[in-house]
Chain A
Amino acid sequence: MQVKMSDYLAQVKPQMKELLRLLRQEFAYASVLCTDVTGTTYRAGQRQISVMDNRFNERGFVVRVYDDGSYSEYSFNQYEDVETLARTITDTLKGELRMLKELGIAQMESPLIHEEALERTMAGEVGMDPHEVSPEEILAHLKRISDAGAAHEGVIEFQALAAFTQVNKLFLSEQKELLQSYAYAEGMETVIGAGNGKQDMAYQSFSGLKGAEILEEMDGSVELAIAFLRDKLNAEPVKPGMYDVITSPEVTGLIAHEAFGHGVEMDMFVKERALARDYIGKQVASPISSMKDGAASASEVSSYLFDDEGTLAGDTTVIDHGTLTAGISDLLSALRLGTKPTGNGKRQTFERKAYARMTNTFFAPGEDDLERMIASISYGYLLEGMDSGMEDPKHWGIQCAVALGREIRDGKLTGRTVAPVTLTGYVPDLLKSISMISGDQKLFGGGMCGKGYKEFVKVSDGGPYLKCKVRLG
């Protein structure tokens, strides 16, 4: 069914148009992004049940203006009348700029945005509208999942979570009028347990441009979460060293994200913070590997019609058969670099600045299968489950915290496991070592991505199984 458009955005549109008209009397460019993101998170466990707003809920506005060679922004979520608001925005932004000029601060010059006239609307689809399912039914479903998980020996707590989000955004400028409404759902089964003298946690995640149908999807994964926990509890520490490994789609996604996801965010090119800027057109990975990013590249939690700067969604081939071909860009970075924006300008909320951010990032599938890949390894690990990662675009280091490694000896899984596993290395070494790629592919949108230690946004990432060589510790 089609997602219903936001009444609120429809209601404020005429006032925001009037605000832009008033601001255009003072500034050479003015745009406004209006957001109305709603959603509810339901959680049921053995010890607690809760209902609360989603983390990414927001309702507000961010105005961008161009004055004296550079851009300024003003975020707000309340106003009495647009005339007063226009005066407040003008006085505040000009006042801040004046103060900085009085300090003798030089400005980065930015080209003025030139837009083509564009009017577009998009309404997403979901299977089952979560508003049509009562909180009682959702919580009861989650409690049944929790009960099934908690019945296993050694389980301390089993929590089942479902979050339903509806994103409504309106972008207005002199030339553009863009409106989108889409919905996504996330599910998470988290189990904490003890055994073998240890305590640990495991999880299964679910996501997509879906509605309440995600609950049915979660039903079949309780045993997987329990088995993963048991494998972690029985795991031994990994002996540090270089290994042949196979990365599961989840770990493949983490590598894509940390290696050449953050590494090709083009606001980092402007700041000369990314080595990738000097490697466009050069080989950075194995010739059998290709990587993509784009809101239009896949259907997952970061698939949209337009980004938070009013640029239409892109489909960027970042690595084409081992060659670095393009970066992903926000609007202002593209203006400075003389490139085309790729629809990757995203904000944590209307209260934050837009940066070049990932959307759906993944390695393209290959031609091998997992069985043949395992059979090709004499001693190594199949890496499964991701915990977190950290980028280093300037030095091309990579850190991935992986949940579990399954030992492979003489082409077979031995049943032995290692955990925790920290995967580190030099990005080109890692990517050039990719020697086999499976033909299947999966994306995961249950997590979020920060830039440094802040600016969290929804992303998805994934890919096929990859065989490569990495350092584990």
Chain B
Amino acid sequence: MDRVYHILEESGADDFLVRETHTRAREAFFIGQKLDMGRAKEVTHTTVTVYVDSEDGTLRGSATKEIHPSGTEEELRQEVAQAVFAAQFARNPWYPIAEASSFDGPQAGNDLNEELAKIVKAMQAVRAGENEKVNSYEIFVNQTRTHIRNSRGVDVSFSSVACELEVVVNARKNGHEIELYKDFRFSKKPAEEITAEVEALFAGGRDRLNAAPTTQHEHAGLILSGDAVAEFFKYFVAHSNVANKYMGYARGEVGTRMTGGEADPLNICLVPVLPGSTKNEPYDADGRPVIERTLYENGVLKSFWGALQYAHYLGVGDTTTLNNAVISGGSQSKEQLYAMPHLEVRDFSDFLMDPISGNFGGEIRLGYESDGTSCHPVSGGSVSGNYEQALQHMQFSRETKQIDNFIVPKVVFLPDVSVAGN
């Protein structure tokens, strides 16, 4: 870091930022419950951003480049010089960089083998039924130390932990086997919870084996209940982002209501730390402290979030980054929402949400059709809808759950979506 910082000081750049991450990781890959491969890594990445201003100070160019620490002094100087040269042509209206701050967070110091062993043990404890099995899983345990310095006195260091567990399970019936997939991301998760959540996948597998084809319906009530719930709420996050606003397609206006009068009140708060989340860094990529911020209150946008450059352009300079988002529960219980006729989609092939057009949907891997009293599993076909309509009448459950760095209502009810099926 010191060598690169010194070269940047002498580079002629008007400002600069250097971000160094040092990551140690342990990984284990399993087929069934047998070890397929063990992996480990130790890598350092040093990325610099150089800023070059126009003579009159109204424009600022920048270029971002990874500098390889294995390079010689001459190579590093040459790479920085190339970045400075390119930056003078990538000019945008002038913007500031983060002001001085200093922080030296505690080292994580976890024993990576021990952390890996905890997750392995949780997976080995999974009890499969006669017609179910763990097909395969992959475990990643990453521990990263980040150091950010800039030319205005930012000098912050902190540690973070990110784990990933990708699990595939199978269920079988009459010689026909299907699979269910789940990607867990967390910094810390009790072993019993991991075991229980994987075992819960088996129930979905059994239902999928008994699923009927989805019924076609041009105006169905839709309940989202799986990981798609977090994706659904990312629409509101996208429309309150300063970069998207500056680019001209975010709809958010401070003080303006995004949701319809009949929709449940939308309340979204950004929080720097959420237990178990993989996104708990105290400083953002610009080196600014991550702070708590209310994005939406009762459907009304209260503030934007995002990078300093765009915040400056929009005149909302005190934005913060998004580490974790808490979306409050709605007005009704989960049971009340399930009491309405609906199609619940628990598992999509891939739930797509396009913040520009407002379209959302995906293929149904596992759903449940219900008249409000009884339900049966369905599979196949697809759901498509648009936020323009969804915003007017969407309802959320009072109960919430955590999906990595998002706390979201357990279920979302949308009264009018199109379902392609039989």
Contact = CB atoms under 8 A, between A and B. Distances in A.
Interface of A: 8, 40, 42, 45, 47-53, 57, 59-60, 70-78, 88, 92-93, 95-97, 99-100, 103-108, 134-136, 139-140, 156-157, 192, 198-201, 232, 237, 239-241, 270-273, 332, 351, 353, 387-390, 392, 394-395, 397-399, 401, 420, 422, 424, 426, 452-454, 471-473
Contacts of A78: 42-44, 69-70
Contacts of B89: 49, 51, 134-136, 139-140
Contacts of A156: 247-249
A198 B41 contact: no
Interface string B299-336: 00000000000000000000000000000000000000
Nearest to B75: A8
Contacts of A49: 61, 89-92
Contacts of B54: none
Given A99-B117, A106-B35, A422-B384, A473 B358 contact: no
Interface stretch (B150-158, B290-298, B348-356, B369-377): B348-356
Given A74-B41, A395-B179, A47 B247 contact: yes
Contacts of B42: 75-76, 78, 88
A77 B68 contact: yes
Nearest to B164: A454
Contacts of B41: 74-76, 351
A353 B382 contact: no
Given A57-B66, A271-B168, A394-B177, A73 B39 contact: yes
Contacts of B76: none
Contacts, number: 238
6 contacts: A75-B42, A100-B38, A104-B124, A232-B357, A273-B135, A397-B380
Residue of B31, B38, B246, B357 with most partner-chain A CB within 10 A: B38
Contacts of A45: 247
Contacts of A232: 357
A332 B31 CA distance: 13
A99 B113 contact: yes
Contacts of B43: 60, 75-78, 351
Contacts of B218: 239-240
A106 B35 CA distance: 6
Contacts of A72: 37-40
Contacts of B349: 390, 392, 397, 399
Interface in B357-385: 357-359, 361-363, 365, 380-384
Given A237-B384, A237-B418, A240-B382, 6 more contacts: A50-B62, A52-B65, A100-B28, A200-B357, A273-B179, A397-B365
B33 interface: yes
A50 B44 CA distance: 25
A96 B40 contact: yes
Contact of A422 (B120, B183, B365, B420): B420
B420 A471 contact: yes
A53 B356 contact: no
A241 B420 contact: yes
A471 B381 contact: yes
Contact of A272 (B65, B120, B135): B135
A351 B39 CA distance: 10
A51 B89 CA distance: 9
A428 B85 CA distance: 54
A236 to B, nearest CB: 12
Nearest to A96: B38
A398 B179 CA distance: 14
The winner among B40, B63, B179, B181 for most chain A CB atoms within 10 A is B40
A104 B363 CA distance: 40
A240 B34 contact: no
B120 A390 contact: no
Interface residues of B, number: 80
Given A76-B41, A96-B26, A241-B420, A192 B168 contact: no
Contact of A51 (B26, B35, B90, B381): B90
B136 interface: yes
Given A105-B34, A105-B124, A395-B178, A48 B247 contact: yes
Nearest to A75: B41
B212 interface: no
Contacts of B34: 105-108
Nearest to B168: A273
A78 B41 CA distance: 11
Nearest to A101: B35
A273 B179 CA distance: 8
Contact of A103 (B91, B120, B356, B383): B120
A96 B26 CA distance: 8
Contacts of A426: 380
Interface string B73-96: 000000000010111011110000
B99 interface: no
A241 B41 CA distance: 49
B420 A473 contact: yes
What 7 pairs across the A-B complex have the smallest Cβ distances? Answer: A473-B420, A240-B420, A399-B363, A75-B41, A390-B350, A473-B382, A135-B86
Contact of A192 (B124, B247, B382): B247
Of residues B349, B359, B365, which shows the largest number of chain A Cβ atoms within 10 Å of its Cβ? B349
Contacts of B61: 49
Contact of A353 (B29, B64, B65, B356): B29
Contacts of B178: 394-395
A136 B36 CA distance: 50
Nearest to B352: A401
Contacts of B116: 96, 99
Contacts of A96: 26, 28, 38, 40, 113, 116
A103 B117 contact: yes
Nearest to B123: A105
Contacts of B124: 103-105
Interface in B86-131: 86-87, 89-92, 113, 116-117, 120-121, 124
A45 B246 CA distance: 12
Interface in B14-61: 26-29, 31, 33-45, 47, 61
Contact of B33 (A42, A76, A106, A135): A106
Contacts of A93: 38, 40
